Amino acid sequence: MAIEEKNADEIFKEFKEQSITQFFRKNSQMLGYSGKVRSLTTVVHEYVANSLDACEEAGIFPEISVEVKEVNESRHLVTVTDNGPGIPQKHIGKALASILSGTKFHRYLQQRGQQGIGAGGCTLFAAITTGKPIHARSGTGKGSFECDIAIDIKTNKPLITNMKTTLEDFRGTSVSGEFGDTKYERSDHGVFEYVKRTALSNPHATIKLIEPDGKETVFPRSVNEMPKRPKQTKPHPLGINARDLLDFAHVTDKGNISSFLMESFSRVSAAKIDELRGIAKDINFDKKPRELTWPEAEKLVEVFKSVKWIAPETDSLSVIGAAQMETAMLNIINPQFISVTERKPKIFKGGIPFVVEAGIAYGGDAGKKTEEGTKGTIMRFANKVPLLFDGSVCAITEAVNQIQWKRYGIRDFGDEPISVFVNISSVYIPYNGIGKQAVSQEPEIIEELKLGIMECARKLQIHINKQRNMHVRESRYKTIMRYVGQLAADLSDITGENKGQIESSLKHIVESKYDMGKEDADEEAVESASSDSSAEE
Output the CA angle 92-116-174, nearest 5 degrees: 35
Question: Looking at 74-83, 113-122, 411-420, which range is the least confident one?
Answer: 113-122
Distance CA 456, CA 505 (A): 43
pTM comes to 0.77
Fold exhibited by the domain 322-455:
Ribosomal Protein S5; domain 2 (3.30.230)
Written as one string, the DSSP assignment of 512-537 is HHHHHHHHHHHHHHHHHHHHHHHHH-
pLDDT digits (tens, 9 = 90+) for 8-27: 666 556 555 555 565 555 55
266-312: pLDDT as tens digits: 889 999 999 999 999 999 999 999 999 999 999 999 999 888 988 77
Which of 369-373, 416-420, 460-464 is modeled with the greatest confidence? 416-420
Helix (H) or strand (E) segment spanning residue 195: helix 191-201
Question: For residues 167 and 20, is the Cβ–Cβ distance under 8 A?
Answer: no
Distance of alpha carbon 207 from the chain centroid: 17
Question: Which amino acid, one-letter code, is at 66?
Answer: V
pLDDT average, residue stretch 82-99: 89
**Distant-in-sequence, close-in-space partners of 131: CB < 8 Å, separation ≥ 6:** none
Give the CATH number of domain 20-219; options: 3.40.640.10, 2.40.50.140, 3.30.565.10, 1.10.150.120: 3.30.565.10
In contact, 355 and 345? CB cutoff 8 Å: yes
Of 185-199, 261-275, 309-323, the range with the lowest mean pLDDT is 309-323
Q: What is the domain partition of the chain in residue ranges?
A: 20-219, 237-306, 322-455, 463-536
pLDDT at 459 over 90: yes
Flag whether pLDDT at 423 surpasses 50: yes
Burial environment of residue 311 by CB neighbours within 10 A (0 to 12, 13 to 18, 19 or more) = middle
The tens digit of pLDDT for each residue in 27-46 reads 555 565 788 999 999 999 99
The mean predicted confidence, pLDDT, of the chain is 85
Architecture of domain 237-306: Orthogonal Bundle (1.10)
What pLDDT is attached to residue 27?
53
Whether the pLDDT of residue 100 is over 80: the answer is no
Report how far residue 413's alpha carbon sits from residue 208's, in angstroms, rounded to the nearest whole number. 32
Q: Compute φ and ψ for 206, nearest 5 degrees.
A: -105, 125
